[in-house]
Amino acid sequence: MRRTLTAGVAAALLSGTMSMQSAPTAEAESWEIDPGHSTSLFRIHHAGAGRFWGRFNDVTGSVAWPRDDSAAPSFDVTVSAESIDTGSARLDGHLKSPDFFNAKEFESMQFKSAAGERMSDGRWRVTGDLTLLGVTKPVTVEVETTGVRGSAVVAKAGWEAKFEINRSDFGMNWGVENGALSDDVQLIVAIEGGIEPGR
Amino acid sequence: MIPVVLWSVVIPTIAAGAIVAAGRWGPLRGRACAARTLVVVAIAVAVVWSFVASVGWPSLPPAQKWHAVPWIAVLIGVWGIFDTLLPRDEWPGRLVLAVVGGIVVGWGLVLPGVEPLTVGMVVGATGALTALMDSRGRAALPLGGWAIAAALSMLTLVAGQLTMALLAGAVSGTLAAIWLVGLCSGKCGSDTRAGGAALGATLAVIALTAWSYDYDLVPRWAWLVVAAGIPGACMLEVGSLGRWHGVLASCVRSLVLVSPAIAVVLTQIEAVKGAMRG
């Protein structure tokens, strides 16, 4: 019994140390993002009334993560601005226009992790740089590991990241001052990554 | 939407109209050259004011390519002022200015998917054509310019580019103000100047910018046809037609200028209504 307690205390201490330093104990594997099973949603307050949802269908990149979750996932994610989808071609065209995502000039948005801190089991607070409209700003993302399945050779893992930005920080100012559209935008990025032989 | 239109179209139009009116009734009254110059200044002020009200002060170098538009409007203003200072029949000088203006705008306005040569040629040619018409003091040009700018504003709205729609709206309002001031100052506006090269070059810059960022929400032909009245009306300045004066001549020139713009809007009317509802 005493041995078990000691082991438990040691594990807790070790866990605390890991939480502070995010030091990987297992080697991180590289998970290639599966665009077919990954998506990015955004939510914005329209005219001070309804909350409007849209999505980006093309999410690519990779995640470095040890599948024992001993270290924070490290994201290198690219979201194509051209893949915006609101269900209305006219609205899509407007959001791709220079007033918003300026997709002809800035084809994609990128997020690159810099560090991670464990919040609880399977939950991480990841900080990194978000590049939007050519402007790079640090953001903090709350990430949940939603699952991992497979063998050492073929496997899939999933994460869901939630964060909020002020779009004016990136030079996307349309409608902020007059309240036509809110400055704050909530984003949810759901990612599935895979490991396959030969990669 | 009403505050946006107020700050980005109505107030710039009022400011531009006041500048034009100052050239007619202010201390510079009677100085034709000053009045012509103030019209050019009014167009540039309308564009810059509308941009600042919509987007904010433009950075230098521009943070995004299209943010160069207000800076280009200022450069076109300088070109337009030199243009208005030239004597009426100083054609070699006007052409040189159009070539230099086209080169400067082609260099300064980098648009996605559009060659700088194309930008320079379109802006230079349109500026030269409106300079030709304006040097004859045609009342049709402010009216035609108003209609073209208004149609351009509607097309850019359909293309989902609100800022460019507001800029075109401010130019349209300015042209309406120029026309009204011309009418109020007598001669049925026959001596009204519409900004010469600055008018055509500014409209071309707005049209090219909107077209380059469009996701085929507006048919390609519509961008070409909307300003087709300008070269069309210039044909009425060639040879003996150029000496055709009077009310009928003004009506025909006005019709040639505004017809393509009206036709384009009518073919796109459902899209325009949809964009205005959104």
In tens, the pLDDT along A6-65 reads 444 444 434 443 333 444 457 889 999 999 999 999 999 998 899 999 999 999 999 999
Indicate the domain borders of chain A.
26-195
For position B190, what pLDDT does the model report? 53
Predicted confidence (pLDDT) at residue A98 exceeds the cutoff of 50:
yes
Q: Which of A97, A133, A171 lies nearest to residue B160, judging by beta carbons? A: A97
Q: What is the DSSP string of B99-159?
A: HHHHHHHHHH---TT--HHHHHHHHHHHHHHHHHHHHTT-THHHHHHHHHHHHHHHHHHHT
pLDDT under 50: residue ranges of chain B: none
Decide if A72 contacts A113 (C-beta within 8 A). Answer: yes
Q: Specify the amino acid at residue A157.
A: A
Kindly report the average pLDDT of chain B as a whole number.
89
Cross-chain Cβ contact B162/A94 below 8 Å? yes
pTM beyond 0.95: the answer is no
Query: Between A73 and A198, where is the model more confident?
Result: A73
Contact B112 A180 (CB under 8 A): no
CATH topology of domain A26-195: Lipocalin (2.40.128)
If you average pLDDT over every residue of chain A, what do you get?
A: 86
% of chain B at pLDDT higher than 70: 96
What's the rounded Cα separation, in Å, for the pair B250 and B176? Answer: 16
Identify residues of A whose CB sits under 8 angstroms from chain B CBs: 89-99, 102, 104-106, 133-135, 171, 173-175, 178, 180
How far apart are alpha carbons A194 and B53 in whole angstroms?
48
- A–B interface: beta-carbon pairs under 8 A: 67
Tell me which chain B residues have a C-beta less than 8 angstroms from the C-beta of A90: 160, 217, 274-275, 278
Confirm if B97 and B82 have CB atoms less than 8 A apart: yes
Residue at token pair 């207000």: B70
Q: Which of B66, B113, B160 sits opposite A94 (nearest CB)?
A: B160
Q: Extract the tokens encoding B243.
A: 């000496």
Range list of H helices, B136-246: 140-158, 162-184, 197-212, 220-225, 229-235
